[in-house]
Amino acid sequence: MVDRTDTKQAQPAASRRSFLKASLLGGAAVAAGTGVARAAGDPLITEIQDWNRYLGEGVDVAPYGKPSEFEAHVVRRSVPWLTADPVSSVNFTPLHELDGIITPNGLCFERHHGGTATIAPADHRLMIHGLVDTPLVFTMEDLKRFPRENRLYFLECAANGGMEWRGSQLNGCQYTHGMIHCVVYTGVPLRYLLEEAGVKTSGKWLLAEGADASAMTRSIPMEKALDDCLVAFKMNGEALRPEQGYPLRLCVPGWEGNMWVKWLRRLEVGDKPWAQREETSKYTDLLANGKARRHSWVMDVKSVITSPSPQAPVTHGKGPLVITGLAWSGSGTIKRVDVTIDGGRTWQTARIDGPSLPKALHRFYLDINWDGSELLLQSRAIDDQGLVQPTKNELRAARGENSIYHNNGIQTWHVNTDGVVENVEVS
């Protein structure tokens, strides 16, 4: 641990927020030198401000609330050159602006293959057929009469970081790691619906299909379907957002995002996988020996420092610096996150804060006293199965250079002496 009691490195920059923080924290923050002395003569302290002088807006100005106008920069963003058309495209969660482990609904990245379907819940149907005793069709109302559960899960697109396989490319964790979100789902365990239909003993696979224009279809092994899959209609307490599959989506915890079929309308029970586009031409990886990896469902153990990062530079100068990030594993919980500030020469154990739940994001922090010199920041996650996040070189040695999907390699950010951060690779 770095000593936080050094007051010699106090920065004089004026900031009301830091002042208040320092005052509230009392001794600890004073010792850390984040700026009590700056208060003298600050008009934000000595003058009455408009927001103090005039009444504010009353209730009901926004029946559905929105973030503060000062947070207008916190939005999903896309990379226009990445795809030919926005209806079959992706945008990215602004991870560098978020804290904790929950992704606000309006900031969950979107990945559509045929645009967002607009479906009135009264018109939505879910069919179960194939190798079942009784083919069934459920309305949304029917589904809401089954016992339901609440579970926090991350959803990561298998292509998250795909652009970074051969080297660092996109300047920001929003773009390198932002095809992930983590929300509380409310839904019915898929097992209950399958039990209701009665799966025949020959039924070993499930085909899930979406009602959108892409009619996305994926094969899911029955073992997983009966284990922890959910048919969800709520996220973070409210109805699914249209972008996330309103009124109904499949949750396939810990497994690649592509399998989480949105606008879920059909489940077919079969005896073998279907070999759909999304499990043959897509979501497979060509290995160095010319063979392709397929059915690579589980999302591997992974982490990233979200701040500092290229879109979240260090603007306060040397002294106390909060390094924070996210870690996750499709196999379980995160047991430990190591952070290096010197490109991997020395590692420190980060502090994981908040709930540690299986197949959900974990938040970690390393609080340091920055001496103002260049940093090479990396994080390395280890899950409860003992799986360790690999370096990019280790990953390329195992899977070759042609992969796109399942890049869980260690990310490096270079922080220069001005606090500017860039995406670099140290393997």
Residue numbers at the binding site for ligand MTE (CB under 6 A): 108-113, 155, 157, 181, 210, 212, 214, 216, 243-244, 257-258, 260-263
Provide φ and ψ at 175, rounded to 5°: -90, -35
Residues 365 to 404: which contact Mo ion by CB under 5 A?
A: none
User: 223 near 231, Cβ under 8 Å?
Assistant: no
Binders of Mo ion in range 255-274 (CB under 5 A): 257-258
Strands (DSSP E) along 329-420, which ranges? Answer: 334-340, 348-349, 351-353, 362-370, 375-383, 412-415
Q: Which residues pair with 309 in a beta bridge?
A: 312
- Nearest distance in Å: CB 158, ligand MTE: 7
In this complex, which beta carbon is closest to ligand MTE, that of residue 255 or of residue 370?
A: 255
Binding residue for Mo ion (CB under 5 A) from 157, 211, 220, 415? 157
Cα angle, residue 9 at apex, residues 5 and 15 outer, rounded to 5°: 100
Query: Which DSSP state fits 357?
Result: -
List the interface residues with Mo ion, window 18-37 (CB under 5 A): none
How far is 119 from 121, CA to CA, in rounded Å?
6
Min separation Cβ 155 and ligand MTE, Å: 6
Stretch that binds Mo ion, among 156-164, 222-230, 346-354, 376-384 (CB under 5 A): 156-164
Which among ligand MTE, Mo ion, none contacts residue 216 (Cβ within 5 to 8 A by kind)?
ligand MTE
Token digits of residue 242: 């249209």
Enter the tokens of residue 150: 């609440």
How many CA within 13 A on the CB side of residue 409?
31
Stretch in the footprint of Mo ion (CB under 5 A) among 45-53, 183-191, 236-244, 253-261: 253-261
Which listed option, ligand MTE, Mo ion, none, makes contact with residue 314 (CB within 5 to 8 Å by class)?
none
| CA–CA separation, 284 and 279 (whole Å) | 7
Binding mask 92-121 for Mo ion (x = CB under 5 A): -------------------x----------
Q: How near is the Cβ of 229 to ligand MTE at its closest, in Å?
A: 14
Residue 266's binding partner, choosing from Mo ion, ligand MTE, none, with beta-carbon cut-off 5 to 8 A by kind?
Answer: none
110 binds, among Mo ion, ligand MTE, none (CB under 5 to 8 A by kind): ligand MTE
Residue closer to Mo ion (CB basis): 92 or 138: 92
Contact between 193 and 95 (Cβ < 8 Å): no
Closer CB to Mo ion, residue 257 or residue 319?
Answer: 257
Amino acid, res. 420: V
Residue nearest to Mo ion (CB): 157
**Cα angle 135-140-142, degrees, rounded to a multiple of 5:** 60
Tokens 């804060």 -> residue? 353
Question: Which residues sit at the interface with Mo ion, rule CB under 5 A?
Answer: 111, 157, 257-258
